[in-house]
Amino acid sequence: MATAGLNIYHLARLQAVSPDWPGGFWWHWLFFTVVIIGFVLTMVMGVIYIERRGMGRMQSRLGPNRTGPFGLLQPVADAVKVLLKENIVPAAADKLVHWLAPVIAFAPALMLFAVIPFENGALLADLNIGILYVIAISSVSTVGIFMAGWGSSNKYSLLGAMRNVAAIVSYEIPMVLAIVGVVLIAGSLSLNDIVVAQNVPFILLQPLGFLLFFAAGCAEINRSPFDLMEADSELVAGFHTEYSGMKFAMFYLVEYAEAVAISAIIATLFLGGWKGPILPPWLWFVVKIILVFFAMVWTRTTLPRIRIDQLMAFAWKFLFPMSLLNMFITALQVLAGWPTELVWVMIIVNIAVMAILVLVWSRFFFRLGGGRVEI
Amino acid sequence: MGLAISFWMLAAVAIIAALGVVLLRNVFRAALSLILCFLTVAGLYITLSADFLAAVQILVYVGAISVLIILAIMMTREVQQGSPNSRFQIPAFIIAILFLEVLVLTLINTPWPVSGITPTAPTTAALANSLFGEGGYLLPVEIAAVLLLSATLGAIVLAREK
């Protein structure tokens, strides 16, 4: 069975170069579509388990531990539970929009994985605009959240959706500018080429870019501490207040699929993607995704939720100038040829630059409540 | 073959979506149909081997402009069910007819030549060279950036409370 799968895989790889039908193209397409769907669903179950158990440990409680060994079957039990639940649609809802919203939100989360390489060249489509595709597609999922907020005709849903737009529009800018640094060093927009270019993981060459991307990415997918749009204490559940049953499960799935996607993108851009010694490349990739996700869980349990004005101020007064500076410094270094010749100098200089910039900026220019860095 | 089929599918969806924008009474649904229209236009760009343009189309039009349109709809009361009666209906109709005439005349009088050049495979480098390279459009790009900045500043000044 494994060899048959491998053969199809190789066949797809060999013939994938001719982008017209019929032929190997469709095998390639079918294979990677099935792989991506399976990968995303499995990873989502995995990260839900990690989040619930990890959060439990970090908050000095147990977390779900009754279903199966170590509570491993809890995501399965949850899935079965939501499948069997009644689907309630509010009487005043815009039925069509309400029904379409989860689908529209889910599609981009899945489409993101089309350009993420699992191994060298093992991806659905090696677009030469890869990372731009990621940014463009991830901006579409906002529309699904909007449709949910509007279609429910519930004021909390609408408020959640409106907070979402403020976050997405603001945080897209530092996110893209943080990516520019990576693209400058790698010299390509294709995610596979970016991984191939990483002899040294770019987190060392772009430490500031990594932090900026991590913060902006968490805000883009509304993870705590930026989860204003579904702030439970203020908005019930935000945009998906009026969703139940399988449609709620879809939103839950989108939330975690996006978290996995952002983790995968961070792993690809900054942590060397599938590169690594001994272990097979795809396993390295999975390990790196889980590491990044664990860092997200960690920040979620550590930091309190920020207010909407703090959210805006953080994007525009902290992340935005920092990402501009980062881009400028990186451009100068690339012009001077540091990434190829003076790699170790560049690593040391950039880590020093990151430390100095973050400390100086948080101390003298921008203070987010008690969130500034104390020395 | 594949290209022709995808072109006609995209074109049909784009026209239906564009009609939806104009004809739907529900403004929110009209905005959603506008998004569909933008997406199909991005698809058309892909069939023309303009992948960079397609991504930028989705990023700018779907990710930013449509989202702002929807936000404006959410912020506005009483317009959800169609536009209210106004005295601008007849002048607007006349201007629309004139605009349609201009468009139709342009469409008829343009020869629409088909280029025989094979499309450049990595579009990004070629685009960057013609935008920022020597003899390129560097000055217009910079001017556009300054224009956008001044528009932003103007909006802030106008919206600011005294």
Write the pLDDT tens digit of every residue in A357-371.
888 887 777 766 554
Convert the pLDDT of each residue in A242-289 to its tens digit.
787 788 888 888 888 888 999 999 988 888 878 878 888 888 888 889
Q: What pLDDT was estimated at residue B29?
A: 84
CA atoms within 13 A on the CB side of A347: 10
CB nearest to B74's CB, from A139, A158, A169: A158
Is the pLDDT reported for residue A16 higher than 70?
A: no
Mean pLDDT calculated for residue range A112-141:
82
- With H, G, I as helix, E, B as strand and everything else as coil, classify residue A122: strand
User: ipTM exceeding 0.85?
Assistant: no
- Between B35 and A240, the higher pLDDT residue: B35
Identify all chain A residues contacting B124, using CB atoms and an 8 Å cutoff: 128-129, 189
- Does B52 reach chain A within 8 Å, measured CB to CB? yes
CB-nearest to A189 from B1, B26, B124 is B124
- Chain A nearest-CA distance from B13, in A, is 17
- For chain A, the first-to-last Cα distance in angstroms comes to 57
Q: Do B123 and A21 touch (CB under 8 A)?
A: no
Average the pLDDT over A50-74 and give the result: 84
- List, as ranges, residues 62-121 from B with C-beta within 8 Å of A: 62-64, 66-68, 70-71, 74, 121
Contact B52 A132 (CB under 8 A): yes
Interface size A-B, in CB pairs within 8 Å, comes to 76
* Residues of chain B with C-beta less than 8 angstroms from the C-beta of A139: 58-59, 62-64, 67
- Closest Cβ–Cβ partner in A96, A133, A140 for B63: A140
Q: Is the predicted pLDDT of residue A338 greater than 50, yes or no?
A: yes
Is the Cβ of B122 closer than 8 Å to some Cβ of chain A?
yes
Alpha carbons A293 and A284: distance in angstroms, whole number: 14
For chain A, say whether B40 makes contact (Cβ under 8 Å). no
- Asked if the model's pLDDT at residue A141 lies above 90, the reply is no
* Residue that has been written with the tokens 């139709």 in this structure: B104
Does residue B26 belong to the interface with chain A, where contact is any CB pair within 8 Å? yes
- What one-letter code names the amino acid at A133? Y
Nearest Cα neighbor of A203 from A189, A185, A220 is: A185
The C-alpha of B55 sits at a distance from chain A's nearest C-alpha, in angstroms, of 6
- Is the sign of the CA dihedral A52, A54, A58, A63 positive or negative? positive
Check B29 against A137: CB less than 8 A apart: no
Rounded mean pLDDT, A181-210: 85
Read off the amino acid at residue B92. A
Residue B32 forms contact with A (CB below 8 Å):
yes
pLDDT score recorded for residue A3:
39
pLDDT score at B79 = 60
List of residues 6+ apart from A249 with CB closer than 8 A: A79, A82, A83
Q: Number of C-alpha atoms within 13 angstroms, CB side, residue A263? A: 24
* Residue predicted with more confidence, A1 or B20: B20
Chain centre to alpha carbon of residue A320: 19
Residues forming beta bridges with residue B81, ordered by sequence position: B26
3-state secondary structure of A221: coil
How many Cα atoms sit within 13 Å of A343 on the Cβ side?
Answer: 10
- Nearest residue, CB atoms, B63 vs list A127, A139, A150: A139
Residues of chain B contacting residue A97, judged by C-beta atoms under 8 Å apart: 28-29, 32
Predicted pLDDT at A119: 78
- Burial per residue of A233-267, b for 16 or more beta-carbon CB atoms within 10 angstroms, e otherwise: eebbbbbbbbbebebbbbbbbbbbbbbbbbbbbbb
Nearest to B63 among A127, A136, A147 (CB): A136
Chain B residue with minimum CA distance to A162? B71
**Cβ <8 Å between B59 and A94:** no
- From first to last of its 162 residues, what are the pLDDT tens digits of chain B? 778 888 899 999 999 999 988 888 778 888 889 999 999 999 888 888 788 888 888 888 888 888 888 888 877 766 656 566 667 788 888 999 999 999 999 999 988 887 777 777 777 888 888 888 887 788 888 999 999 999 989 988 988 876
Tokens 């550590």 — which residue? Answer: A302
Q: Give me the DSSP letters along A177-218.
A: HHHHHHHHHHT-S-HHHHHHT-SS-HHHH-HHHHHHHHHHHH
Q: Where are the domains of chain A?
A: 4-367
